[in-house]
Chain A
Amino acid sequence: MDSQFFAIRVTGGQEENVANFIYKNAILNENEVYSLTYLTSQKGYLIVEAKSGQDIREAIAGIRHVKELVPGLLKIEDFDKLLIKKPTITEYSVGEVVDIVMGPFKGMKAKITKIDLSKMEVTVMLLDAPYPLSLTVDSSYLKPPKNR
């Protein structure tokens, strides 16, 4: 039989703790729970993949911060796009003009001269500076221009 996806409503901020408790419970009770997922965009909810609702009810029994097992089933298509997230650095390319959104150079435009994927750092040349100024920043400091 295929696995089924259920949502569990939990206390906000306790999602990871609850997931860890369900994980331990499911192993102890030998419930057929296959995976637990916490999406940061869905605060207060956990997605549990299991053979049946009964397996989940047993695994969540007695765990604090679990509010309810949401009635109904989820499909993997409902949340699969939220599971695969590409790091923002892969969106950039050398030569592209970007906006700096953090740090002392916030608000300036810069041209990308080098991308270091292993360190998630980008070297840029400031365009608004009166003289050529090169700096290496974290990719989170940059934002693609709006008219991309």
Chain B
Amino acid sequence: MPKESACRKCKALTSGKVCPICSSTDLTSRWSGLIIILDPERSKVAQMLNIKNKGRYAIEVS
């Protein structure tokens, strides 16, 4: 599986060329850490990071 890219704005991971969350094209392959949000309404991690959508996110993006 090719390495995914992370959106520099919202840190969402995608294997495409456009961020699935914020539609930004400012993506980078240099990211580390992983957060998978399954239930953004009940997850404390999602609330702390202000994540409103399910999905996979990087922790650090450069």
A binding-site residues for B, Cβ under 8 Å: 2-3, 15-16, 19-20, 23, 26-27, 32-40, 49, 76, 80, 82-85, 87-88, 118, 120, 139-140
CA distance A3 to B34 in the complex (A): 19
Number of interface residues of B (CB under 8 A): 21
B binding-site residues for A, Cβ under 8 Å: 8, 26, 32-39, 42-46, 48-49, 59-62
Q: Say yes or no: A49-B44 contact (C-beta < 8 A), given A34-B39, A35-B39, A118-B26.
A: yes
CA distance A3 to B37 in the complex (A): 13
Which chain B residues border A88 with CB–CB below 8 Å? 62
CA distance A94 to B14 in the complex (A): 33
